[in-house]
Amino acid sequence: MAYRYRLMAIPAAAALLCASLLPGPAAADAAPGDAARGARLAYTCFGCHGIPDYRNAYPNYRVPRLGGQHAPYVAAALAEYRAGTRQHPTMKGQASSLSEVDANDVAAYFATAQPVTAAGTTVGTAPASAQVCVACHGKEGVGLTPEYPTLAGQYPDYLAQALKAYRKGTRQNMIMGSFVQKLSDADIDAIAHYFAAQQPALWVPRAPRAP
């Protein structure tokens, strides 16, 4: 698949991390989830993820867009909420109501209708502090492997919140934790706005009509 070849562009340090910390090809090639079944299970998610600009209250930031996000990343995020390496009480509750198979199916559902693929052009110029990031998240904000989340068109306040959570350690991830330590609030702001502006963009899924 194309993304495998594009990995060669990754600088040595990042490549090392990828090789040592990420699931190997076997996990990446795991059977895709059942999107039709996922659509039924995702019913409760739309109360927040199906409403454009819907906000988390404390702290105040927008609920992330899931439409077109890489399925393996979404499944991994749900597992992290369940495990507590990623802290958010509501999402822990939501994720805990799903089995691993359920989570894969829901992830497949959000990913499939209109996957986000790299356009080959960027909107504006990546800030200098984002040079290392594009090795995995792509200049256009589309994750170069299914495990790397797509950032293109994500809400900038959500992206900033995520980066600050890694910096603070309330969201634990060995890869990301190592890349955010040196970022200032101004860097985070510039990076968040750059990736949020990229096209094509993640989108807000619409609730399917009740059966």
C-beta of 7 vs 119, nearer to ligand HEC:
7
Q: Which stretch binds ligand HEC (CB under 6 A): 14-22, 29-37, 116-124, 203-211?
A: 14-22
Rg (CA), the chain: 16
Q: Which of 18, 108, 196, 204 binds ligand HEC (CB under 6 A)?
A: 18
The answer to whether residue 39 forms part of the interface with ligand HEC (CB under 6 A) is: no
Nearer to ligand HEC, 116 or 133 (CB): 133
Distance CA 76, CA 44 (A): 19
Q: Which of 35, 111, 133, 204 binds ligand HEC (CB under 6 A)?
A: 133
> 67 forms bridges with which residues in the sheet?
203
Out of 35, 39, 71, 74, the only residue in the binding site for ligand HEC (CB under 6 A) is: 74
Tokens of 142: 């589309």
Stretch near ligand HEC under the rule CB under 6 A, chosen from 25-33, 115-123, 128-136, 203-211: 128-136
- Tokens at residue 136, please? 């995995």
Residues numbered 134-173 forming contacts with ligand HEC, rule: CB under 6 A: 135-137, 147-149, 151, 159, 161-163, 171, 173
158 within 8 A of 63, measured Cβ to Cβ? yes
As measured in angstroms, the least distance from the Cβ of 118 to ligand HEC is 16
Question: What stretches of the chain show up as alpha helix (H) in DSSP?
Answer: 2-6, 12-21, 25-28, 35-41, 46-49, 71-83, 89-96, 100-112, 134-137, 156-168, 174-180, 185-196
Q: List the beta bridge partners of residue 86.
A: 171
Q: Of the candidates 73, 76, 98, which has an alpha carbon nearest to the alpha carbon of residue 85?
A: 76
**Dihedral in degrees, nearest 10, Cα atoms 14, 15, 16, 17:** 50
Q: What is the smallest separation between the CB atom of 200 and ligand HEC, expressed in angstroms?
A: 16
Which DSSP category does 44 fall into? G
Instruction: List interacting residues with ligand HEC (CB under 6 A).
Output: 14, 17-18, 42, 44-45, 47-49, 56, 63-64, 66, 74, 76-78, 80, 86, 88, 90-91, 94, 106, 130, 132-133, 135-137, 147-149, 151, 159, 161-163, 171, 173, 175-176, 179-180, 191
